[in-house]
Chain A
Amino acid sequence: MANKKKNRNVAIIGIGQTEYSSHKEHQNQAEMVNEAVRRALDDARITMDDVDCVMHGNMELFEMVYQPDLWHEIGTGAYGKEEIRITTGGTTGASLVCAADNLVASGMYDVILAVGLEKLQEGHTTGGITNMADPLWFRHLQTGALTGTTAQEMIEEFGEDRAKRAAMKYRIMMDKHACLNPRAHRRFGLEYDQMDDLMNTSPKLVGELRLIHMCSQSDGACVMVFASEEKAKKLCKHHPPVWIRDHITVHREETLPNLFGFKKPEMTQRYAARKLFERNGIKDPVEYFDVFEMYDPSAWWGLDWLREFLLLKGDEHIKMLEEGEFDLDGKLPVNPSGGVTATNPIGATAMLRPAEAALQIRGDAGEHQLERNVRHALASGFGGTFWTVLIMLEKDLNW
């Protein structure tokens, strides 16, 4: 595929988030959305008058609301504007960013406000997810989003003790990051010396996937404002715009056994990274990127996928973790926000990745801001059965 040529450059000019928690009884869905919308408009120093199009995304079935984009209109500010709804499962938030990038780059709109949200406490997440499975072959067997396969594979490849320790170290590292982020949902205050204890006492869910490894179910919303280069340069006076350099989405059939046969194909994470880096001339992603906000639904998956996304081989990713290279002061900090094991309002989750990565580039992420000058950021989304979205953000318009 030829390098994607944009008609014009696209910037992130505003970001608004709610705090994330397991319950939000004090707000209905539209009110929760509106809180994030107001914060994003304030952040961009614009009003709804400046916005051409509103995009809306959350999960099908999760809140049991049909056509939520219409119903949430009193919160999104979409009255009298064009509105587009996108719902692609776990990748929803990242799909919104990709679509906004395309729509602004194309010239269709100058300014887009995109809303990702979820109130997981109001619905039944696993019940909803299970309905994605084929009714004849898999729906009776599906365990929702919980799978133990990766843990088993990593134990086989790296040995039981090393694999289990690595997954738990990853999880505790994420909690340490989340503890610095006042918006994060789960902040346990875990310490590395609790590793052995947690490896044995945390309840098992499927195989070696334990409760502590798994992402949370959160309520919250994230809103991002996108603008064309011309508009961004005009509107962004108080903080710099963050440029979307490129993005890629990779999908795969959900009924894995039918497709694989006996040979596991290249992971969508590696395929996405390989293609994206190739067409942007990135030879060494670990060297190039200053931060990676990754959609990590569980500690096992997060750790395993680092090898794929960063095009590493063998146990390079485990070594990097063991040596602290993914820490906030490491070679490539991963999820300074605390990631998805801490905070997971699903329709917003994949948007939080580029949103948090953009805050790092701006240098105003808050307590979890990295100390280095963040110039190049990578953000990923995940959904369905290994659907991957990968987004590259830049501080400078110089590529």
Chain B
Amino acid sequence: MAVHKEDTSHCYVQFGRMALPNQYFAGRVGSRFIIALRDEHKILGVRCDKCKKVFVPPREYCERCMSRLDDNWVELSNEGVITNFTIVRYNDKHLPRKAPYVLALIKLDGADTPFAHIVEGIDPSKVTVGMRVKAVFAKETTNTILDIDHFEPL
């Protein structure tokens, strides 16, 4: 059967570029986390005593029981364990590294929730769940989560 192909020789395409400037208010809780990370190289979480969970990133209220958490800060270890990971194998402008690189979920010692970051210093094919890693802090601050430059195996 012949495949019909539309004649699109006179169909105009209009190109656009959405420019929507925006800002993001980190709030008191998010700000304290970033400031501690930037100025002291400390990773902070918050504990919900009722649910017995330590959350990182921190949040103002427990999403399950609605208890206030922002007066219950916990300093976490810079070390933790990979709970899951993937290998990013394509390149694009928005990505933080050239492919291939490892994006992992890391449960820091003392936390109950895993935390996403980059793992370097190891061949991606050698990364395993359960592998212990530690944070390597960035030389220059960006006031973002990339003040941790990456994690590397212990």
Give the residues from 5 to 25 in chain B that come closer than 8 angstroms, CB to CB, to chain A.
14, 16, 18-25
Give the residues from 91 to 126 in chain B that come closer than 8 angstroms, CB to CB, to chain A.
none
Asked if A231 is an interface residue, CB under 8 A from chain B, the answer is no
- Contact in complex: A121, B63 (CB < 8 Å): no
**Given A27-B60, A34-B60, are A61 and B20 also a contact pair (CB < 8 Å)?**
yes
Chain B nearest CB, measured from A248 CB (Å): 33
How many residues of A are in contact with the other chain, CB < 8 A? 33
Q: B21 — which chain A residues lie within 8 A by C-beta? A: 124, 127
Asked if A84 is an interface residue, CB under 8 A from chain B, the answer is no
- In whole angstroms, what is the CA distance A61 to B21 when docked? 10
Asked if B76 is an interface residue, CB under 8 A from chain A, the answer is no
B interface, over-half SS:
loop
- In whole angstroms, what is the CA distance A124 to B59 when docked? 26
- Contact in complex: B18, A131 (CB < 8 Å): yes
Q: A38 — which chain B residues lie within 8 A by C-beta? A: 61, 66
Asked if A83 is an interface residue, CB under 8 A from chain B, the answer is no
| Residue on B nearest A34 in the bound complex, by CB | B61
User: Which of B14, B26, B66 meets A28, CB within 8 Å?
Assistant: B26
Asked if A77 is an interface residue, CB under 8 A from chain B, the answer is yes
Chain A nearest CB, measured from B143 CB (Å): 14
Asked if A139 is an interface residue, CB under 8 A from chain B, the answer is yes
User: Which of A41, A48, A73, A122 meets B25, CB within 8 Å?
Assistant: A122
User: Which of B14, B18, B25, B63 meets A25, CB within 8 Å?
Assistant: B25
User: Which of A27, A121, A135 meets B27, CB within 8 Å?
Assistant: A27
- Contact in complex: B24, A122 (CB < 8 Å): yes
Give the residues from 97 to 131 in chain A that come closer than 8 angstroms, CB to CB, to chain B.
119, 121-124, 127-128, 131
Give the residues from 5 to 58 in chain A that come closer than 8 angstroms, CB to CB, to chain B.
23-28, 30-31, 34, 37-38, 41, 47-48
| Residue on A nearest B60 in the bound complex, by CB | A31
Asked if B30 is an interface residue, CB under 8 A from chain A, the answer is yes
| Residue on A nearest B21 in the bound complex, by CB | A124
Contact with A along B127-151 (1 / 0, CB 8 A): 0000000000000000000000000
- In whole angstroms, what is the CA distance A384 to B30 when docked? 34
Q: B26 — which chain A residues lie within 8 A by C-beta? A: 28
User: Which of A41, A74, A123 meets B59, CB within 8 Å?
Assistant: A74
- In whole angstroms, what is the CA distance A26 to B29 when docked? 8
**Given A41-B66, A135-B14, are A28 and B20 also a contact pair (CB < 8 Å)?**
no
Q: A188 — which chain B residues lie within 8 A by C-beta? A: none
| Residue on B nearest A219 in the bound complex, by CB | B25
| Residue on A nearest B29 in the bound complex, by CB | A31
| Residue on B nearest A63 in the bound complex, by CB | B22
- In whole angstroms, what is the CA distance A48 to B51 when docked? 15
- In whole angstroms, what is the CA distance A139 to B16 when docked? 10
Q: B20 — which chain A residues lie within 8 A by C-beta? A: 61, 64, 123-124, 127-128
- In whole angstroms, what is the CA distance A23 to B27 when docked? 11
Asked if A220 is an interface residue, CB under 8 A from chain B, the answer is no
Asked if A79 is an interface residue, CB under 8 A from chain B, the answer is yes
Contact with B along A134-155 (1 / 0, CB 8 A): 0110010000000000000000
| Residue on B nearest A139 in the bound complex, by CB | B16
- Contact in complex: A124, B66 (CB < 8 Å): no
Asked if B28 is an interface residue, CB under 8 A from chain A, the answer is yes
Asked if B4 is an interface residue, CB under 8 A from chain A, the answer is no
Chain B nearest CB, measured from A204 CB (Å): 25
Q: B27 — which chain A residues lie within 8 A by C-beta? A: 25-28, 31
Asked if B64 is an interface residue, CB under 8 A from chain A, the answer is yes
Q: B29 — which chain A residues lie within 8 A by C-beta? A: 28, 31
Q: B16 — which chain A residues lie within 8 A by C-beta? A: 135, 139
- Contact in complex: B22, A48 (CB < 8 Å): no
Which of B18, B21, B61 has the most chain A CB within a 10 Å cutoff? B61
Which of A28, A30, A119 has the most chain B CB within a 10 Å cutoff? A28
Given A25-B27, A34-B61, A131-B18; 15 other pairs, CB 8 A cutoff: A23-B25, A26-B28, A27-B25, A27-B27, A28-B25, A30-B59, A31-B29, A34-B60, A38-B66, A48-B66, A64-B22, A79-B64, A124-B21, A127-B19, A136-B14
**18 A–B contacts from the bound complex (CB under 8 Å):** A26-B25, A27-B25, A31-B27, A31-B59, A48-B66, A61-B20, A64-B22, A75-B63, A79-B64, A119-B25, A122-B23, A122-B25, A123-B20, A124-B21, A124-B22, A127-B18, A127-B19, A131-B18
Please list the 7 inter-chain residue pairs (A to B) with the smallest Cβ-Cβ separation, ordered nearest first.
A28-B27, A64-B22, A74-B63, A31-B60, A27-B27, A123-B22, A25-B25
